[in-house]
Amino acid sequence: MDDSALPVWETTPDETLALKASHDRQAFAELYRRYVDPIYRYMRYQVPESEAHDLTAQVFFHAYRACDQFRGESPYKAWLFRIARNTMLTWRRSRDRIPVPVPDLPDIPDGGPDTGELVAAAQRHRELWEVVQTLSPAERELLTLRFVEDLQPKEIAQVTGHSAGTIRVRIHRVLRRLRRRLQERGIGP
């Protein structure tokens, strides 16, 4: 394939690529390029860092082997995250309740030259992250899918197998619980 064909892949919708992926490796390669970072990030929030790369590779191995099963009835992103979730749950079941640490505190973008503001923001960010770590793995998963991976409740429902209404309620409850814990620590309104 020559380089002049590459921009065509970049503008092709995920679902079209997914329907071609079972017989076109370039289509699957483009889907891999689009989703390897989001899937790794999702895994990184769910399993220890030492396992995240291997599980991400397993997700794409499973996706490639199952590409002929994708029918386009749901968004490809939701279908792929469903595979990722199943891979992660299988991994968890194979372990003896190994505690899964939340990843290191994400970097705070440089907000300007005022060091005092940056230090205060970093402290608030660290405190928020400590509270997020107190959530259950299922609660962190919901927040990761919604706010880190930017999936809509309908897509999260397709990933988890619950209804979109159930997902909206659970997210609302997790956010309410998170807000209450933050207020108990004197963080936020």
Q: Do residues 73 and 156 share a domain?
A: no
Residues 183 and 136 in one domain: yes
45's CB contacts (< 8 A; 6+ apart) are 102, 103, 140, 141, 144, 148
Enclosing domain of residue 157: 106-189
Q: What global pTM score does this model have?
A: 0.70
User: Which residue shows structure tokens 């209450």?
Assistant: 180
**Please, which contacts does 108-115 make with residues 24 or more away whose CB atoms are closer than 8 Å?**
none
pLDDT in tens, 92-129: 888 765 555 555 555 555 545 566 676 666 777 777 77
pLDDT tens column, 140-181? 899 889 988 989 999 999 999 999 999 999 999 999 998 898
Using the CB atoms, write b or e for 44-55: b if 16+ within 10 Å. bbbbbeebbeeb
Are 78 and 163 contained in the same domain?
no
Asked if residue 53 and residue 37 are part of one domain, the reply reads: yes
The residue among 129, 130, 110, 126 whose CA lies nearest residue 118 is 110
Question: Based on the domain organization, do 174 and 143 belong to the same domain?
Answer: yes
Residue 1 pLDDT grade (very low, low, confident, very high; cuts 50, 70, 90): very low
CATH number at residue 15: 1.10.1740.10
